[in-house]
């Protein structure tokens, strides 16, 4: 799915060769400042390396239209991005960006329940706690139905039990729908428990 060759970025990343497989769960681990988020951003083409190439499905990433690529390879940043409006507006915004207006309200309610967010869809999103915002953003990504989901510490604001429940659900969803998941996590346990592959990035000294 992704192939990285001779990638260099400032004095943060130096990757000679890396393959990330399709229809798999891959975790990226490493100490802070090692470049985990930077690598994820490069796969979403929101950031470009100084040198080297990144291929997605055999095609160099810069040969894709960046907007279309990001709709296929969606990234969720660590800090939840909340827009003006209610919870439903916030969940649907990703689909709205893709000019796709059809949605299944039952599916959304079901996801809210699965993620343990006991709120009405018409409540203002501003009032949500950090953890709830993070889960709303995850639901936003899931209903966009992308090919690849890139998650940057998706559960950093959640307690251990909720974290496990959320990751478990996302991994199940990815497996059942033949998607690919690449997530940055601080937790080696989560990475070991759920990933098919683990990439460990070492900080350059």
Partner 1 sequence: MILLNGAIKLSIMQVVSAYLFIIILLLIVRKRGLNREKEIIISTTRMTLQLILTGYILTFIFKNPNPFITILIISIMEVFAIQNIIKRTKSKLSKELKKVIIISMLAGTLFTLIYFIFIVINIKPWYNPQYFIPLAGMVIGNSMTGISLGINKLVEGFKNQIDLIEGSLMLGASPKDACKTILDNAFDSAILPTINSMVGMGIVFLPGMMTGQILSGSSPLVAIEYQIAIMLGILGSVSISVIIFLLLGYKTFFNRRIQIRREEL
Q: Which residues of the shown chain bind partner 1 in the complex (CB under 8 A)? A: 44-48, 62, 66-68, 70-71, 74-77, 79, 81, 83-84, 93-94, 97-98, 140-141, 144, 150
Task: Decide whether 31 or 50 has the Cβ nearer to partner 1.
Answer: 50
Q: How far is the CB of 193 from partner 1 (least distance, A)?
A: 26
Give the integer Cα–Cα distance in Å for 195 and 187: 12
Give the integer Cα–Cα distance in Å for 148 and 63: 18
Q: How far is the CB of 44 from partner 1 (least distance, A)?
A: 5
Q: How far is the CB of 125 from partner 1 (least distance, A)?
A: 13
Task: Decide whether 96 or 109 has the Cβ nearer to partner 1.
Answer: 96
Tell me if residue 159 falls in helix, strand or coil.
coil
Polymer length in residues for the chain: 205
Beta-sheet strand order (sheet of 2-9):
13-20, 2-9, 51-56, 59-60
Q: How far is the CB of 164 from partner 1 (least distance, A)?
A: 25
Q: How far is the CB of 140 from partner 1 (least distance, A)?
A: 7
Contacts of 56 (CB under 8 A, 6+ apart): 1, 2, 43, 64, 69, 73
Give the integer Cα–Cα distance in Å for 10 and 158: 32
Task: Decide whether 86 or 116 has the Cβ nearer to partner 1.
Answer: 86
Task: Decide whether 97 or 202 has the Cβ nearer to partner 1.
Answer: 97
Task: Decide whether 38 or 116 has the Cβ nearer to partner 1.
Answer: 38
DSSP 8-state code for residue 124: B
Q: How far is the CB of 137 from partner 1 (least distance, A)?
A: 8
Task: Decide whether 76 or 88 has the Cβ nearer to partner 1.
Answer: 76
C-alpha distances out from residue 169 to 112, 136, 140, 160, Å:
12, 14, 14, 14
User: To which residue do tokens 């160099």 refer?
Assistant: 60
């Amino acid at each position: 799915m992704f192939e990285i060759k001779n990638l260099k970025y400032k004095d943060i990343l130096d990757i000679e060769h890396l393959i990330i497989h399709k229809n798999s769960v891959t975790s990226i681990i490493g100490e802070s400042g090692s470049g985990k988020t930077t690598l994820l951003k490069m796969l979403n083409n929101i950031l470009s390396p100084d040198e080297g190439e990144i291929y997605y499905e055999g095609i160099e990433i810069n040969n894709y239209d960046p907007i279309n690529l990001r709709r296929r390879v969606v990234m969720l940043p660590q800090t939840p991005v909340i827009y003006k409006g209610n919870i439903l507006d916030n969940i649907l915004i990703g689909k709205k960006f893709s000019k796709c207006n059809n949605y299944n309200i039952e599916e959304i309610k079901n996801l809210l329940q699965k993620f343990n967010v006991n709120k009405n869809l018409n409540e203002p999103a501003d009032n949500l706690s950090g953890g709830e915002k993070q889960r709303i953003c995850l639901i936003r990504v899931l209903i966009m139905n992308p090919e690849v989901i890139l998650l940057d510490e998706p559960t950093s604001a959640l307690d251990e039990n909720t974290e496990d429940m959320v990751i478990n659900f996302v991994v199940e969803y990815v497996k059942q729908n033949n998607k690919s998941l690449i997530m940055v996590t601080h937790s080696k346990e989560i990475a070991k428990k759920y990933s098919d592959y683990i990439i460990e990035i070492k900080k350059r000294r």
